[in-house]
Amino acid sequence: MATDATDAIEAANALLRERGYAERDLAVHAAPRGRALLKGNKLLSPLSDEPELVLRIVRELVPASAELGTGTLRPAALRADL
């Protein structure tokens, strides 16, 4: 299971890099109890959940950095859009 979590975190970070985000602006990190943490300057507050769900959020809901511009993502809005 740890491998699945690690794979999901790595996949999410690869997608974020492809979309133009620097790690300080938006990245996924391993969190306690097998969870993943999406955090960075482009997020109002960190979002913590299962790694697969965080990957889904990144894949389906996080726009490219150029599209977001100077805006900030809101965790509550991301969850509502799932």
Q: What is the 3-state secondary structure (H, E, C) of 13-74?
A: HHHHHHCCCCCCCCEEEEEHHHEEEEECCCECCCEEECHHHHHHHHHHHCCCHHHHCCCCEC
List, for residues 11-49, the tens digit of each pLDDT value. Answer: 999 999 999 999 999 999 999 999 999 999 999 999 999
- Please tell me which residue, 61 or 4, carries the higher pLDDT value: 61
What is the predicted pLDDT for the residue at 1?
46
pLDDT tier at 2, thresholds 50, 70, 90: low
When mean pLDDT is compared across 2-6, 8-12, 41-45, 52-56, the lowest value belongs to: 2-6
For residue 3, pLDDT over 90 is answered with: no
The overall average pLDDT reported for the chain is 95
pTM to 2 decimal places: 0.93
